[in-house]
Structure 1
């Protein structure tokens, strides 16, 4: 299973770690993924999702899963 957010599609970033002597070595930054059960009042069901903490905060702000998908449809259509 890939470490990817189910709603936003966030995944790991790959780049170079650069030392003071300018030596470069590959490094990754992984998203902070949490397993969360999300209740959707429109459909009346609870869904278990792997979400980034940023997506959880946005989901709390918007209110429900249906509103999130409606407002941020550009994220999950890609």
Structure 2
């Protein structure tokens, strides 16, 4: 399973760690992903999603279905 947010498509960033002596070594910054169970009252069911914490805050505020509608997504796009 790839480390991407299902709603925002946030992925790991790749770059270089640079020491004081200018030595470069590869590093990855992982997004803060959480596996969360979200209730959808419109469909009376639960859905498990892997979300970034930023997307989780937005879904908590707006609700899942209005957020998907504003992003132009459907529930099938997110779950599949």
TM class, shorter-chain normalised? 0.7 to 0.9
Matched, 1:67 2:80: no
Pairing of 1:12-27 with structure 2 (within 5 A): 12-27=12-27
The aligned length equals: 74
Runs of 4+ in structure 1 over 3 Å off? none
What RMSD over aligned residues (CA atoms) do the two structures have, in Å?
A: 1.5
| Separation in 1, partners of 2:72, 2:24 | 38
| Separation in 2, partners of 1:17, 1:72 | 34
TM-score w.r.t. the length of structure 2 is 0.83
Deviation for aligned residue 1:72: 2.2
Residues 40-68 of structure 1: per-residue CA shift (max 9 Å, x gap): 11122110111111110111121x11101
Alignment gaps of 5+ in structure 1: none
